[in-house]
Homo-oligomer: A and B are copies of this chain.
Amino acid sequence: MTPTQDRPALDRLLSPRSIAMVGASNSPTRIGGTVFGNLLRNFPGEVYPVHPKDEVVQGRTAYRSVRDVPEAVDMAVIAVPAPAVVDVVAECAALGVGGATVITSGFAEAGPEGRALQDRLTAVARETGIRVIGPNCIGYMNTHGGVMANFMLTPDQPMPEAGPVALVSQSGGFGSYITNKAVLAGLRLGWFVSTGNEADVNVAAVLRHLVERPEVGVLLSFVETLRDPEVFVDTARRAAELDKPLVLLKAGRSEEAARAAMSHTASIVGSAQVLDAVCRQYGVFVASTMEELLDLGTIFQDGRRAGGDRVIVMTSSGGAGVLLADEAGQAGLSVPELPQDEQAALAADMPMPFYGSTANPVDTTAQTTAMPDAYRKVLNKVAASPSADMLTAVTWAGPGPANDAIVEMYQTTTKPVAILSTAWSPQFQQAGVPTFTDPCRAMVALAALARQSDRGPLPPDPAAFAADAGRVRRVRELIAEAGTETTLLESTGKRILAMYGIPVTREEMVTGEDAAVEAAERIGGPVAIKVMSYQLPHKSDAGAIRLGLRGPDAVRAGYRDMLDEVARRAPGAAVEGVLVQQMAPARLELTCGVQRDPVFGPMVAIGLGGVLVEVLSEAVLLRPPFDVDTARAALGRLLGGRLLTGRRGLAEEEQRAAAEIMTGLATLALELGEIAEIDVNPLRVADGALLAADALIVVNHD
């Protein structure tokens, strides 16, 4: 065993010090020839071709098999026909190879036989500890380590310039497409990894590995299926901790996978919403287009951060200024008017008569742009303005003194800069000036940068969550009362909610008219009465509810009438008792609950409730665990913020109460994995307090 074997296998796989390639070819048009040619380009260590017949491959002595290679290499690239792959990987593992990059196709994507082959490959990785990228991938590139283990370029094409940006893509084809675009856009890509079928290593694992590498400053990712959500969340937390932006482009958003949905609120969430919510919670940027993925890479690659959200816009066209200011506002940035003294200083450099503006947007007019000295002075003053945290300037691509001045300004200031240009320009790319070709895209990028610069505290670590064992035992006793029933009685559900600090209506479970009357008197005021029966989870459909009963006579009459109606309409229903319940007033009704996403597990949702729940479908989602501040911030996003700012919206203490209900639900969902679904609807809001008036809990007895 060589010393390099002391490193973790994934590290050996992605940063090898020696490489073998099984399936290396002398033919430049074959994949095995292209990949081997690429391996030879920049790699400082040994690269051993393995070939069944040829003595020499592309100038290197070839070996008959991996066994014959003179050392246990860190990484083997494998490009042999699919049926041979598993044995080669197993052989590598036995020889102490760290990892394999399997280029070959014909696995899970090719039907049941391929699926079986891939399962065997997964098993070899699990059993031996060798790490495997692929199969059916385009390979990877690690420019810092000189590794070009891929066929996304041919050996005669120029290498991307090494830099802080890492791109991880499940899709090899589209990953290399994005790489191509990224290089055109001036991104300095230090890493590109395609994971293909993900028999072993997946996107989350690669991101988790790369986030720790010092040369990586920005992580971009394109995924179709997000596997290993815990690793993904952990990566996101770590990326936030290290202040390395993580940007995700997700395909397959429209697929509405089989997914446990909340009974009353089936329309509230789709899984793309869950992904978006989780990403937002953990500070991951979700790019809505491929170009946005690259735009965020562009703004983040120089590592600059902003002290606030104030943008200064400099342009020689009033129209462009107005459009940029619009887009800034749309993206959530501010474009403050400059104070008089700054404006006077700018005006002093403008040619006379001056028909532009010094307010912000600073409109220099075309006349100033044509005067190199004036333009340079104004630009540098603008960049130095204490009234702005970021700078946008508009220019035309092509050489000239204005663009020279922009490069000089960029190199002088430490503020984030986004230049709007008619096209990419070699001059800007060489100098690393972040360049955008559309006003909206420039501002979306700056807004992301402002968000990254203003990160709050790290969200709680899911791994650190500790359950309250005593409470869990008590809840399980209550659940046990339901026997094999999966939907708990409302009365039971509310007792459970109360154990997590969720305020519920005052209520008593009774049998008989007299007991109901007595309970109503103890509760006080008008009451509701409801039949509790496992067969009647939707009470109003069976007439199993009476509302607003005031006084003994009304309670008595309502009780009799209700039980008669239930006996008539649902003769088979076994009545467990009658719940006598306080009538809760409401200025506003909310609905909240828990549902389990097939990828991310339990998610707490809160949204508008009441009669409009059928026609509305807006909710915010949070993944447990989270703290009260996070919950309050989430409430602030409901209805575009109007739930808090609207005249009848939530008051301060109501917001706190709602946030505490959300954290209570979160703890409940984490403590009891068997709870499949919770639906609190309505959650009645009045006079500074919230009250759960109905609750449905569904358990999974498996």
Contact = CB atoms under 8 A, between A and B. Distances in A.
Interface in A106-138: 106, 109-110, 114, 136
B171 A317 contact: yes
Nearest to A175: B319
A322 B224 contact: yes
A642 B323 CA distance: 33
Contact of A251 (B109, B114, B319, B616): B319
A317 B587 CA distance: 53
A318 B171 contact: yes
A153 B106 CA distance: 56
A647 B649 CA distance: 26
Contacts of A105: 355, 365
A318 B422 contact: no
Contacts of A441: 289, 291
A365 B171 CA distance: 12
A646 interface: yes
A173 B366 contact: yes
B173 A440 contact: no
A169 B437 CA distance: 19
Interface in A644-681: 646-649
Given A177-B396, A251-B326, A170 B440 contact: no
Given A317-B173, A612-B608, A639-B615, A438 B289 contact: yes
A323 B251 contact: yes
B320 A614 contact: no
Give the interface residue-count category, chain A: 35 or more
A171 B172 CA distance: 44
A325 B180 contact: no
A322 B251 contact: yes
Nearest to A369: B173
Contacts of A608: 612, 615
A593 interface: no
B169 A319 contact: yes
Interface string A177-215: 100110010000000000000000000000000000000
A516 interface: no
A323 to B, nearest CB: 4
A350 interface: no
A611 interface: yes
Contacts of A587: 611
A27 to B, nearest CB: 13
Contacts of A66: none
Contacts of A611: 587-588, 648
A362 to B, nearest CB: 13
A172 B317 contact: yes
Contact of A649 (B317, B614, B639, B646): B614
Contact of A322 (B252, B316, B439): B252
Interface string A408-443: 000000000000001100000000000001111100
B109 A355 contact: yes
29 contacts: A105-B365, A109-B318, A110-B355, A136-B355, A170-B319, A173-B316, A173-B317, A173-B318, A173-B320, A174-B317, A174-B323, A177-B317, A181-B423, A224-B322, A251-B326, A267-B642, A289-B440, A290-B323, A290-B439, A290-B440, A291-B437, A291-B438, A588-B611, A588-B612, A588-B615, A612-B612, A614-B647, A614-B648, A615-B646
Given A106-B355, A184-B423, A611-B648, 8 more contacts: A136-B355, A173-B316, A181-B423, A267-B642, A290-B439, A291-B437, A612-B612, A615-B642
